[in-house]
Amino acid sequence: MTEATAKATERSPGGPAPGDAEQPPDIAVDVRQVSKVFHDDRGREVQALRDVTFQVRRSEIVALTGQSGCGKTTLLRIIMGLERSTSGTVSVGGDPVRGCGPDRGIVFQNAELLPWRTALGNVEFGLEARGVPKAERRAAAQEAIELVGLGAAAGRRPHELSGGMRQRVGIARALAIDPDVLLMDEPFSALDAQTREGMQAELLEIHARTGKTIVFVSHDLDESVLLADRVVTLLPDPGRVHGVLDTALDTSLPVDERRSSAAFAERRHQLWRLIHGREIEQHEREERA
């Protein structure tokens, strides 16, 4: 990430328009005109997403944020292949997403570790499910667990780990399969404030070391600005892209100095106004009436 001028754009995700035949080689995730319709208990249609389009460049960190009900998690699950869109397309590395695949790893809000397995055993699980030989998966899991700073805790079981440590095991499990894209659904929301800030710094360090493309969902504006190169904001009912904000900060600064920088404050304010702009406009109209 490099220093960039913050700029909000209305539905301006960049890259080729939907329908273009070729995808630039630097595009890791391409979401085009994605819509999702559910049916409620009475069989009525509920549109969760409508015509969502944006792209994520290789090695970029992109946050998905917006008010409740805008379909952030649904969109992430579609990218992962856990759900199918009603219309539109998603491709990763130029290949259409038709289900889960080893080119994507996901970290959920809660790590959901297997209680009878050690931390290392949990990290091995995805590799084991893919049929990776024991020695190979053990080596890959060991490398991943050391990457998240848990080498000394590899033999502990989940009940012996703190909340932050369990979430780091979840991240290591996703990284162990060496995915091209790491997807994260509010991965730090269940942690206390101090642990959350520590995990945010660790994620930036992991990204600096691996260069992984990361797409994450967050309700936390501070987190979105601190971690992301760009933030895609969604409007609710149905979920749709409202704007894209460039939020890249100066990576030559330590993380704590980035948090307290004028650039951070400016980008956070712009993001807040982008998300709450309609409410502000409505309030101003009511005051003028």
The predicted-structure confidence for 240-271, as pLDDT tens digits, reads as follows 999 999 999 999 999 999 999 999 999 999 99
Residues linked to residue 233 through DSSP beta bridges, in sequence order: 65, 243
Mark the ranges of the chain whose per-residue pLDDT is less than 50: 1-21
Closest-CA residue to 255 (of 190, 192, 172, 199): 199
Name the pairing type of β-strands 95-96 and 8-10: unpaired
pLDDT given at position 23? 64
User: How far apart are the C-alpha atoms of 151 and 255, rounded to whole Å?
Assistant: 24
Q: Which of 240, 241, 217 is nearest to 228 (CA)?
A: 217
pLDDT at residue 45, rounded to an integer = 87
DSSP H helices in the chain = 72-80, 119-129, 134-147, 163-176, 193-210, 221-227, 255-259, 262-288
- How far is Cα 266 from Cα 264, in angstroms, rounded to an integer? 5
**The pLDDT of residue 158:** 94
Strands 61-66, 45-57: pairing kind: unpaired
Encoded tokens for 189: 């929301």
Cα separation, 42 vs 6, whole angstroms: 45
| CA neighbor of 77 nearest in space, from 151, 163, 186, 180 | 186
Query: For the chain, what is the largest distance between any 2 Cα atoms, rounded to a whole number of angstroms?
Result: 72
- Cβ atoms of 265 and 249 closer than 8 Å: no
pLDDT given for residue 11 in this prediction: 38
Task: Supply the pLDDT for residue 8.
Answer: 42
DSSP three-state, residue 236:
coil
Distance in angstroms (rounded) separating the CA atoms of residues 265 and 3: 14
pLDDT for the residue numbered 18 = 43
Please say whether the beta carbons of 173 and 123 come within 8 A: yes
Bridge partners of 178, per DSSP, are none
pTM summary value: 0.85
Contact criterion met (CB below 8 Å) for 234 and 70: yes
